[in-house]
Amino acid sequence: MRLFSIVGTRPEFIQSSTVHHAAKDFDGVSHHYIHTGQHYDDEMSLTFWEQLDLGMPDCELNVGSHSQNVQTGLILNKLGAVFADAQLAPDDWIIVYGDTNSVLAGALAAAKCPAGLVHLEAGMRSYDWKMPEEVNRVATDHLCDLALAPCSSAASTLLAEGLPEHRIGVIGDTIQAAYERYAAPAVASTIWIKQKISPYDYILVTIHRQENTDDQERLRRIASALRILQGRGHKLIMPLHPRVNRDFFEGLSVIDPVNYFDMLALEVGAKLIITDSGGVQREAYYSRVPCVILRDVTEWRELLNTGWQELVSPLHNTAIEIANICEGGIETKGDDVDVYEALDGADLIRILALGDGKWLHNIQEGSME
């Protein structure tokens, strides 16, 4: 059986790592990477391939940055030729992770080829159609042969949207699986020394979502809130995604994006995490660090019930309100429960090896002992 992971962005390299390493333990299973090139700077791509030991991509599409439609179209166009070359067969599987343009293009191309398509992180919803990610994930869920959700509420969403039961499963969280594998080695990171910060004495901040970065008012409010926090004596550290206009954050501790181990170390040692990232939001909980999510909505809403996280809209709150909520959150300690489970890569591969979801169905029926 051949597995083809289509990946293009920083989180997808991380999300796919569990499948890549699990595949090595199966005779007769080979895992191949197709890198779309949506992310291409070394610090957004190569560093993850090296650190997570993903090998080299079997195929690189090198699409780069474009408008949403051009980027999706370019990937789709190039994948057609790659799939034809690979002579895909019905027992091959294409795997896509999450909700990026690389995911949607991969799903569209896969839907028209003989191989099966499996979507990990299926069923997550913001119900905000202005987000490109919402369009990508909903379309992908409805195109795929197997929609594997990280939690039962996401599986229920898929059922309610009319996906047949035999195409839906709960397989756990890809980010949690990577976190469990890499959080321990990551503490050897020297990022604290390099950045001259002490563990538990700083606030970690990441901002990258289009709805924040492309809206000047939201960005201004976020930057003002961070300045207020800094003015009150809080040390900030802010690895910034390349899409963000750094002029807004002048005077704040902006650094270039960091590698995954450094990021995990920064998360574990933070007294508070402020983010609009879905991956960082989950890692904050896995690290049991309080987290303020600077968004109007989160797909990972179960985390809001743990008491560790607060959703704060930069649209509906002033800078001072945002700063006050963040400061209040620092001492917050919530529940200590397992909200999601980690993706088990071996389970996934066994499900795919049986083909059309029969194994999945049997697991759900409790008859697969």
Residues in touch with ligand UDP (CB under 6 A): 10-11, 14, 175, 206, 208, 239, 257-258, 260, 263, 277-280, 283
C-beta of 116 vs 314, nearer to ligand UDP? 314
Torsion angle of the four alpha carbons 271, 276, 278, 282, in this order, in degrees rounded to the nearest 10: 10
Q: For residue 68, give Cα distances in angstroms to 147, 169, 297.
A: 24, 30, 22
Cα-based angle 91, 95, 101 (whole degrees, multiple of 5): 140
From 33-41, 115-123, 154-162, 199-207, span contacting ligand UD1 (CB under 6 A): 33-41
Catalytic (active site) residue 35: no
Burial class (CB in 10 A: 0-12, 13-18, 19+), 127: exposed
Point out the catalytic residue in the list 20, 119, 208, 361: 208
3-state secondary structure of 269: coil
DSSP string, 141-187: HHH-SEEEESSHHHHHHHHHTT--GGGEEE--BHHHHHHHHHHHHHT
* CB 252 within 8 Å of CB 237: no
3-state secondary structure of 123: coil
Interaction partner, residue 361 (ligand UDP, ligand UD1, none; CB < 5-8 Å by kind): none
Residue 15 binding ligand UD1, by CB under 6 A? no
Residue 242 binding ligand UD1, by CB under 6 A? yes
C-beta of 17 vs 100, nearer to ligand UD1? 100
Residue 206 binding ligand UD1, by CB under 6 A? no
What are the respective helix, strand and coil percentages of the chain, to the nearest 5? 45, 15, 40
C-beta of 67 vs 367, nearer to ligand UD1? 67
Interaction partner, residue 137 (ligand UDP, ligand UD1, none; CB < 5-8 Å by kind): none
C-beta of 142 vs 241, nearer to ligand UD1? 241
Residue 10 binding ligand UD1, by CB under 6 A? yes
CB of 21 to ligand UDP, least distance (A): 16
CB of 260 to ligand UDP, least distance (A): 4
Tokens 């090296």 locate to 50
- Catalytic machinery residues: 208
